[in-house]
Structure 1
Amino acid sequence: MSAFTAVDVIRVKRDGGVLSDAQIDWVVEAYTRGEVADEQMSALAMAILLRGMTPGEIARWTAAMIASGERLDLSGVSRPTVDKHSTGGVGDKITLPLTPLVAACGAAVPQLSGRGLGHTGGTLDKLESIPGWRAVLSNDEFTAQLGDVGAVICAAGAGLAPADRKLYALRDVTGTVEAIPLIASSIMSKKIAEGTGALVLDVKVGSGAFMKSLPDARELARTMVDLGGAHGVRTVALLTDMSTPLGYAIGNAIEVDETLQVLDGAGPADVVELTLALAREMLTAAGLPDVDPAEALRDGRAMDSWRAMIRAQGGDPDAPLPIAAETETVRAERDGVVAAVDAYTMGLTAWRLGAGRARKEDPVSAAAGVVLHKKPGDPVRVGDPLYELRADSAARIADGLAAAADAVVVADRAPAPTPLVIERIA
């Protein structure tokens, strides 16, 4: 018989107490094997959201999540390994150009990614718009591709932090997604378990991010950086702005198309800026601080790396991308300057158009999404296109028009410029 019960553990946290290492180890392991019920873990997750956790509790909770499954061994990979994780945003296709770019510069990037949910896009959904590309690799395929190509973007295996897989789904339906201890342990348990030697975190701040305020984003970043260091993974975080969508494309296939522009040495300035900023951090963390990633974009090495990565996972890098059957352009109703393009609203709009999902099992449209024509600071005249909606049906277009009604604000004056990279935490 166990020395603990779920109710006793819940009560400790409900009353503002500190869970012992033994209690944390037991409740995570018991939940993973089904002894602790979903409703009991829901109550504990809510108590954690309301009462918080000490740094010691978060570290132990993360270790227990890692211990619930396997830990990949990448010691046989000849290149230094470094990964990147974004906390999620709108138009955030940075993983797509960044992974092959860093690989082209001499590091190995073991990028385990996820799918979109709600207003935020998913890297795997974007890549699955490429004909033939597959997200699921065995551990052997994963390590072999990492050695051969230097770049992998795929789904996490079922054996990696299974406790997190169960808890992540539960948090989504119980209003506990925002709990910083649970966000930090969820992200870091998977990243540590994948075996990377270094990690760069892109912690988003703003309307289109889970962290709406700078203090919350700073707390999350600091927590994750400390967790990485405690587990021997060199970790640094950048706090970056997510009040405006990144780039001009919000969707799946259209974000792949924008990625190809970046890899071809062009692309939107903000996407290029953030890609290069994260690439420099990753290369420094991997022990390659003198390599210039901008040169790898200019000379075509990053594009070659992309094509090799896509082919290695069964995709055809030359195949045409899906095109939406229905489009609608929304135009300016007055002269002025674009003062705001709200990231959260545009993310919801792309979701309504079919690019996202409400539940993990929902299908997504590869072709649906939003293409912006103007960004904050751009002048407009009456009739100028502001954005274009794309969907597979006219009904979806109608949904998108309603969702995006207040997304773009045109005013008399340009807004004050805001930095894309707000702060660095190491």
Structure 2
Amino acid sequence: MSGFAAVDVIRTKRDGGELSTAQVEWVIDAYTRGDVAEEQMSALLMAILLNGLSPAELSAWTGAMIASGVRMDLSGVGRPTVDKHSTGGVGDKISLPLAPLVAACGAAVPQLSGRGLGHTGGTLDKMESIRGWRATLSPDEMHRQLAGIGAVICAASADLAPADRKLYALRDVTATVESIPMISASIMSKKIAEGTSALVLDVKTGTGAFMKSFDESLELARTMVGLGAAAGVRTSALITDMSTPLGRAVGNAVEVAESIEVLAGGGPADVVELTVALAREMVELVGLSVDPAEVLTSGKAMDTWRAMVAAQGGDPDAPLPTPKHVETVTAEADGVVAAVDALPVGVAAWRLGAGRERREHDVQAAAGVLCLVSPGDTVRAGQPLFELHTDTPEKFAVAHTELAAAVTLAPVGTVVEPRRLVLETVR
């Protein structure tokens, strides 16, 4: 593909013009191969951030990112394929109980996952808390596991939408992350390339989410659902609240433990509610007539979880890592918990070692925060609000600072409205 110059593509977008499909395909291919310089793509990304992309441009951009690598073929696994993607939040361990639950309902769930960065945790980091578990599978291993067990949680291979890997890193250092077209193309290029026939998106909104406002989250959801439909992937989205952490556990091993509680028939009500809501949407998209709530109660999802963990080298009976040091944050006064702000809780867990500041950094398996109260609870002065876990006690001070204003107390007797978890469904 030739006949284009990067400077002309940049100028067109800078001046508010519309790129042709051929221009988009050329610039993505040339950048992936290294023929378009980083500074040129940086300029183009900023022009897109400021001027947006038309639906035709976005469709071409997403298609070109998919075409930069392989597109997996899952047609031979013998089950309908459906995946879930979350835009990331605090305590968002939903993939862990959800994948085996939907597999136990009769679908195949190719859950290609990532690692955490900043205050949002990564599914692979959580799963690596399990002794022996490995994130990297060959395409053949993944295919066999989907056919036999129905669920896999693993890392995406390097040849899946490689253009996205380069563009994501560049967006991160050029202040162009916040572009809804670029976020949509990044997520959907990988999910479409993985070969699933259906996809449910969990688009978070609120203080602990990447998208803070409902309107932004709705725009993102609609954009991604449109891209999925255009690519022949049945796609829907749930917009869900991320103002309050999901469940009690925020971290790595602590979130695995809480996920196992859910699979065993217990666990926090909000984690169970969202897991079942997403599972219902997933099985409906692929035409399965089964109630995930009943399957969860039956114990079949736990059996699938154990088989999935073991197939990837993990020991489902091994004890999870525990922290070397534990401290608590206590209430300074009596009151009713009016709010628990997800963002400072996520940041505190990150600072304690559960997350990373750069992608190459390691995480602590045992680090994290346990939320000991929820909105609506009555507390007394001196009562523990949070339990902090870390192997590096010098990190406690910054975590205490982050959590100082995480809980909002109202006068005793105040009635707190129940949380609405699923705010809207986009189909």
TM normalised by structure 2 equals: 0.98
User: Cα distance, 1:234 vs. partner?
Assistant: 0.4
Partner of 2:419: 418
Partner of 1:333: 332
Confirm or deny that 1:345 pairs with 2:344.
yes
Partner of 1:209: 209
Q: For residue 140 of structure 1, what is the amino acid of its counterpart? A: D
The one-character-per-residue Cα deviations of 1:180-208 (angstroms, maximum 9, x if unpaired) are 00110011101110100100000000111
Question: Which range is displaced more, 37-46 or 321-330?
Answer: 37-46
Partner of 1:91: 91
Structure-2 separation of matches of 1:405 and 1:173: 30
Q: For residue 385 of structure 2, what is the amino acid of its counterpart? A: L
Partner of 1:124: 124
Confirm or deny: 8 A CA contact 1:93 1:255 kept in the other structure: yes
Confirm or deny that 1:199 pairs with 2:199.
yes
Structure-1 separation of matches of 2:351 and 2:194: 34
Partner of 1:389: 388
CA distance 1:23–1:316, change in 2 (3 Å)? same
Partner of 2:354: 355
User: Cα distance, 1:415 vs. partner?
Assistant: 3.6
User: Cα distance, 1:6 vs. partner?
Assistant: 1.6
User: Cα distance, 1:47 vs. partner?
Assistant: 1.4
Partner of 2:363: 364
Alignment of 1:257-272 (within 5 A): 257-272=257-272
Confirm or deny that 1:25 pairs with 2:25.
yes
Structure-1 separation of matches of 2:170 and 2:323: 34
Number of residues of Structure 1 aligned to a counterpart in Structure 2:
425
The one-character-per-residue Cα deviations of 1:198-219 (angstroms, maximum 9, x if unpaired) are 0000000011111111111111
Structure-2 separation of matches of 1:44 and 1:405: 41
Confirm or deny that 1:37 pairs with 2:37.
yes
Q: For residue 416 of structure 1, what is the amino acid of its counterpart? A: E
User: Cα distance, 1:394 vs. partner?
Assistant: 1.3
Structure-2 separation of matches of 1:88 and 1:191: 15
Structure-1 separation of matches of 2:204 and 2:215: 12
User: Cα distance, 1:414 vs. partner?
Assistant: 4.0
Question: Which range is displaced more, 384-393 or 60-69?
Answer: 384-393
Partner of 2:12: 12
Q: For residue 420 of structure 1, what is the amino acid of its counterpart? A: L
User: Cα distance, 1:418 vs. partner?
Assistant: 3.4
Structure-1 separation of matches of 2:209 and 2:164: 21
Question: Which range is displaced more, 14-23 or 236-245?
Answer: 14-23
User: Cα distance, 1:2 vs. partner?
Assistant: 3.6
Confirm or deny: 8 A CA contact 1:338 1:414 kept in the other structure: no
Percentage identity across paired residues of the two chains: 69
Structure-2 separation of matches of 1:232 and 1:286: 13
* Structure 2 unaligned residues grouped into runs of 5+: none
Partner of 2:403: 404
Q: CA RMSD in A?
A: 1.0
Confirm or deny: 8 A CA contact 1:376 1:414 kept in the other structure: no
Q: For residue 17 of structure 1, what is the amino acid of its counterpart? A: G
Structure-2 separation of matches of 1:251 and 1:227: 32
Question: Which range is displaced more, 82-91 or 339-348?
Answer: 339-348
Q: What secondary structure sits across from 2:158 in the alignment?
A: coil
Structure-2 separation of matches of 1:217 and 1:16: 25
The one-character-per-residue Cα deviations of 1:311-331 (angstroms, maximum 9, x if unpaired) are 000000000111111111111
User: Cα distance, 1:417 vs. partner?
Assistant: 3.0
Confirm or deny: 8 A CA contact 1:352 1:403 kept in the other structure: no
Structure-2 separation of matches of 1:74 and 1:218: 30
Structure-2 separation of matches of 1:337 and 1:178: 36
Partner of 1:233: 233
Q: For residue 167 of structure 1, what is the amino acid of its counterpart? A: L
Q: For residue 259 of structure 1, what is the amino acid of its counterpart? A: S
User: Cα distance, 1:404 vs. partner?
Assistant: 1.6
Alignment of 1:275-294 (within 5 A): 275-288=275-288, 290-294=289-293
Q: For residue 250 of structure 1, what is the amino acid of its counterpart? A: V
Structure-1 separation of matches of 2:323 and 2:397: 14
Alignment of 1:63-212 (within 5 A): 63-212=63-212
Q: What secondary structure sits across from 1:354 in the alignment?
A: helix
Structure-2 separation of matches of 1:37 and 1:377: 54
The one-character-per-residue Cα deviations of 1:394-424 (angstroms, maximum 9, x if unpaired) are 1011221122221111122344333100000
Q: What secondary structure sits across from 2:326 in the alignment?
A: strand
Structure-1 separation of matches of 2:419 and 2:267: 20
Structure-1 separation of matches of 2:37 and 2:350: 32
Q: What secondary structure sits across from 1:91 in the alignment?
A: coil
Structure-2 separation of matches of 1:378 and 1:79: 44
Structure-1 separation of matches of 2:415 and 2:356: 34
Structure-2 separation of matches of 1:296 and 1:2: 54
Confirm or deny: 8 A CA contact 1:207 1:242 kept in the other structure: yes
Q: What secondary structure sits across from 2:354 in the alignment?
A: coil
Q: For residue 327 of structure 1, what is the amino acid of its counterpart? A: V
The one-character-per-residue Cα deviations of 1:81-101 (angstroms, maximum 9, x if unpaired) are 000000110000000000000
Q: For residue 417 of structure 1, what is the amino acid of its counterpart? A: P
Q: What secondary structure sits across from 1:340 in the alignment?
A: strand
Structure-2 separation of matches of 1:236 and 1:137: 28
Structure-2 separation of matches of 1:348 and 1:43: 31
The one-character-per-residue Cα deviations of 1:354-407 (angstroms, maximum 9, x if unpaired) are 100111101101000000000111111112110111111110112211222211
Partner of 1:254: 254
Partner of 2:297: 298
Confirm or deny: 8 A CA contact 1:201 1:236 kept in the other structure: yes
Structure-2 separation of matches of 1:69 and 1:107: 26
Structure-1 separation of matches of 2:147 and 2:172: 35
